[in-house]
Structure 1
């Protein structure tokens, strides 16, 4: 299964929730919760990209699990790229990003 197929396979159960929709972000396929982006797939690198609290992103990068997400050289501190398509890891981080999207702005860090 390709990383993109895995992304949509893991996203499919989430899409049954009315607040979650498919969309695009910077031309990349993504998921939104009530209009807020929370996950995407970088088709170029085949990495899962998720939005999490800054401390969690820093932890994933420090642990060597994720890489900073820096399109065009600008680091997005609340986004992390996960290059290895591990099904359980991606499933867990998609759920974590979805839960984080439910937190009111400014309260997830």
Structure 2
């Protein structure tokens, strides 16, 4: 028996909170392809869990601000190139996952 993954549990709670929003689909919607484990708004990914970290899509200036404040880093999808509009939140950050995800939701729906 394995111990529950706290990040996965936290993300599941986030999914439960945000799925009622307009246009939001949660993990598992649409099969097993890239993004199937993410929260989407109108089929656009706005939040996902990657390697135990919350990853959110935000305006580049907001991501730069959070990175400069030490709250996370630019997300790298494994291609060796950090993505400018994606923040991988530091696991030790005290920032609210829900608040950041709602901010990301608003950003992708603009």
> 1:29: Cα distance to partner?
1.7
Instruction: Report which stretch shifted further, 6-15 or 33-42.
Output: 6-15
2:75 maps to 69
1:82 aligns with 2:82: no
Count, aligned residues: 101
For 2:33 and 2:65, how far apart are their aligned partners in 1?
24
Structure 2 CA distance for partners of 1:62 and 1:87, relative to 1, 3 Å: closer
2:37 maps to 29
Q: Look at both structures and tell me which one has the larger radius of gyration over its CA atoms.
A: 2
8 Å CA contact retained: 2:26, 2:38: yes
Instruction: Report which stretch shifted further, 88-97 or 72-81.
Output: 88-97
2:57 maps to 51
The gaps in structure 2 that reach 5 residues or longer are none
For 2:98 and 2:36, how far apart are their aligned partners in 1?
19
The gaps in structure 1 that reach 5 residues or longer are 104-109
> 1:83: Cα distance to partner?
2.6
Return the structure number with greater strand share.
Answer: 1
Q: CA RMSD in A?
A: 2.2
1:100 maps to 107
Q: With the length of structure 2 as denominator, give the TM-score of the two structures.
A: 0.80
